[in-house]
Amino acid sequence: MSKSESIGVIGLGDVGFPLCVEFSKKYHTIGYDIDSSRVEELSSGIDRTCEIDKETITNAYNLVITDNQEELSNLDFYIITVPTPIDLNNIPDLSFLRAASKLVANHITDGSIVVFECTVFPGCTEEVCIPIIEEVSGLKYNTDFFVGYSPERINPGDKEHSLTKIVKVVSGSNDVATERISLLYSSIIDAGIYIAESIKVAEAAKVIENTQRDLNIAFVNELKIIFDNMDIDTNQVLNAASTKWNFLKYAPGLVGGHCIGVDPFYLTYKSEEMGYRPEIILAGRSINDGMHEYYGNCFLNKLSDNEIIIKDSDVLIMGFTFKENIPDTRNTKVYDLYNYLKERCKSVTVVDPHADLSEVQKTYKLSIYQNIENLPIKKFDGIFVAVYHSSFRDLDLSDVTNENSVFYSIKGRE
Q: Is 118 a catalytic residue?
A: no
Task: Check if the beta carbon of residue 242 is closer than 8 Å to that of residue 236.
Answer: no
Catalytic hit among 124, 129, 259, 345 = 259
334-342 helix and 291-305 helix, angle to the nearest 10 degrees: 40
82 close to 10: Cβ distance less than 8 angstroms: yes
How far is residue 6's CA from residue 26's CA, in Å, rounded to a whole number? Answer: 10
How far apart CA 199 and CA 52 sit, in angstroms, is 29
Alpha carbons 17 and 26: distance in angstroms, whole number: 15
Cα separation, 281 vs 104, in Å, equals: 34
Q: What are the residue numbers of the active site? A: 259
